[in-house]
Every structure is written in C-alpha cells, then in structure tokens.
Amino acid sequence: MNISLKQLMILESIVEYRSYTAASKSLFMTQPAVSMQIKKLEDNIGLELFEKNGKFVVPTEAGQELLFYAQSVRQQLEEAAQVMEELKGLKRGKLHLTMASTANYFAPQLIAAFKHKFPHAEITLDVTNRSGLVDAVENNHTDMAIMGKPPSGHHLKGIPFIDNPLVVIAAPSHPLVHQQPILLQDLAGEPFIVRESASGTRIAVERFFEQHGLELTAGMEMNRSEAIKQAVMAELGLGIVSLHTIEMELALKRLVVLEVEDFPIRRQWHIVYREGKRFAAIPDAFKSFVLEQAESLLNIPDY
C-alpha cells in the first residue's frame, strides 16, 4: 500500500467533522480535492472507508481501522516534533563539564540549579588538576571548564563569574589565632601545607609572596584541598585555600581564618573554553546560566 500522510490527515478530519465539506474547510482544501484523495486511498487499499448515515458520513470498519493507525502516526510525528523543539528550546541535550577539584565544593549547586531548569539535560562531569583542565579544553575533550584564570598562549578564553578569595587557615590551637594584627612577615618561617607546584592556587600564592618580598615555606605538599585542610587541623602547619572550600569547617570551628595583612588574595573563578568554539544549545545555556546566576546562587562563607 502507498498511503500518504496527507491522506491520513484528511481521513482524520472527515471522521472528526463527519462531512467532506466541513473537513475540506478545516484543511483549507476544496471539497473535490478531499473527495479525490479519499477515492485514491480507497482504490489503493481496495476497501471503502466511509458510508452515508443520514446527513453525515461515518467510517466503515476499514475506515475505523485505518483511523487508529492514522492517529498513531500523527501522535508519533507530534512526539518527534516535540523532541526537536525541546532540543531547539534547550530542554534536552548534553553537556561535558570539566572542573578543578576545588570547584567541586560549589559547582554541584550550580549544576543542581541548572538541572532544575533543564531537567532532561545530560551532564558529564570530570574533575582534574590544572594541567588536565588545560589539556581537556585545548584539545576539545570537554565543552568547557570551571577553573581559575587560564594560562596565556593556549588559545583559551576565560570569563570570570564569581570571586575566589584565598585565605590563610590555621588550627584553632595555633598561636597566631590570638595575634592581631598579623603582618605578612609574621608568616615568615611558618610551615605551609601547599598544593602541588602546577596548581593554580600554588602559583597564585607563590606570586603573592614574591610580590611582597617574602618566600613561602612549603612544609608539606598535597594535591587536594581536602588533604590540606586535614593536615592543618592536625596542626602540621598553616594552609592557604579557597574560602569556598572551608564553609563546613568554619561552621564546626575546626579551622580558623587568620586575619593577615593584604589577605585574602583576590582571585576569580572562570568559565573557560577554546577560542572560537561553537556551543550546542545546552552547553551555551549552561555558560549563560553560570554567568548570570552564579553570584546570586553561591554564598561566600563569612569568617
């Protein structure tokens, strides 16, 4: 059988209006054109589809059976159209996001808020170090990254979206907790628990100390902010971490932020992507969402 979608649409309309004339008006067709299409359809399948019932036409048994399939086909097409519109309307799609481990303390809040707005978005999340972030973005292995300021010379574009203050932390029992004010030179010789040398935080801290004519004393090196916090709580030294990472420890009074001259170190979190990258709908929506909503969604802890 060779049945067209147009013929099925005409069939449905005639059943709905019980009249060739009324159906033709609803379809913006002439009555002879409607009649011709139904005649072609009947000739094609070898069965009559309609019969007279007083002033109206009603479907025969064959007409009822074909109507069922016509409605099923229409529903399938409407569903397909809806999916396409959802893709265009940002209700569906995929996002591959890569972030610095430190951003893992706040980024889930952004993702949760975004998923609430776009519940059918499929999100893949990778957490890696700074060199991994640069490699993923530069080689197009991810849509975008959440990290500190991207390095120059890698064809990466970074857009800041929220402050990332770095603060000095200590165990509550540390002698400097009760010393006010704390000058930068008071930190000279104090052992610091630091991030690995390639970390953006480590680079920013060493640059800060160098600019102030001081040298950072690295007592121990850790590759995660969580490890630094644990080491500081164990009284192994001081730490310099993002304020975003210590909200719980401040609330539980397990760590103290020292009021040090010229601190906090002012940094920012960035959305980073490859220059010239063309985003699909959902990644583009996430980028806009973060830039517009992050500041109102994320609270920087008080200390």
**Cα–Cα distance, 123 to 274 (Å, whole number):** 19
CB 158 within 8 A of CB 267: no
Q: What angle do CA 110, 203, 99 make, to 5 degrees?
A: 25
How high is the mean pLDDT of the chain? 90
CATH fold match for the domains 92-163+268-297 and 166-257: yes
Element of type H or E holding 145: strand 144-147
Alpha carbons 172 and 151: distance in angstroms, whole number: 36
Q: What's the pTM?
A: 0.70
Q: Which CATH superfamily is domain 166-257 in?
A: Periplasmic binding protein-like II (3.40.190.10)
**What would the pLDDT profile of 248-266 be if each residue is shown by its tens digit?**
999 999 999 999 999 999 9
The DSSP secondary-structure symbol of 118 reads S
**Architecture category of domain 92-163+268-297 in CATH:** 3-Layer(aba) Sandwich (3.40)
pLDDT tens per residue, range 136-150: 999 889 999 999 888
Over range 164-185, report the average pLDDT: 92
Q: Kindly state the DSSP code that residue 235 receives in the 8-state scheme.
A: T
Tell me how far apart the alpha carbons of residues 230 and 234 are, in angstroms, rounded to a whole number: 6
When pLDDT is cut at 50, 70 and 90, the band that residue 90 belongs to is low
pLDDT at 86: 64
Greatest CA separation for the chain: 104
- List, for residues 181-206, the tens digit of each pLDDT value: 899 999 888 999 999 888 888 999 99
In this predicted structure, what is the pLDDT of residue 298?
83
Domain-wise residue ranges, the chain: 5-88, 92-163+268-297, 166-257
Six-digit token string for 89: 């309307």
Alpha-carbon distances of 41 from 1, 17, 61, 117, rounded to whole Å? 9, 19, 15, 46
What pLDDT does residue 303 have? 76
In terms of DSSP H, where are the helices of the chain?
5-17, 20-26, 31-45, 61-88, 107-117, 130-138, 200-211, 225-233, 247-251, 281-297
User: Which segment of 22-26, 100-104, 123-127, 234-238 scores lowest on mean pLDDT?
Assistant: 100-104
Q: How far apart are CA 63 and CA 218, in angstroms?
A: 84
Calpha distance 194→62 (Å, rounded): 80
Q: 283 preceded by cis ω (within 30°)?
A: no
Residue whose structure tokens are 């978005």? 121
For position 85, what pLDDT does the model report? 67
Would you put residue 253 in left (φ > 0), alpha (ψ -120 to 50) or beta? left
What is the spatial distance between Cα 144 and Cα 114, in angstroms, rounded to a whole number?
A: 15
Read off the pLDDT of residues 96-137 as tens digits, 9 standing for 90 and up.
999 998 898 999 999 999 999 999 899 999 999 888 999 999
Which residues, in sequence order, are bridge partners of residue 239?
169, 193
By mean pLDDT, which of 30-39, 52-61, 73-82, 161-170 is the weakest?
Answer: 73-82
Please tell me the distance from the alpha carbon of residue 145 to that of residue 104, in angstroms, as a whole number: 12
pLDDT of residue 276: 87
**Closest by Cα among 4, 260, 49, 270 to 151:** 270
Q: Across residues 58-86, what is the average pLDDT? A: 85
pLDDT for 152 equals: 84
Architecture of domain 5-88: Orthogonal Bundle (1.10)
In this predicted structure, the answer to whether residue 162 has a pLDDT above a threshold of 70 is yes
Integer Rg of the chain from CA: 33
pLDDT at residue 81 is higher than 80 = no
* pLDDT of amino acid 149: 87
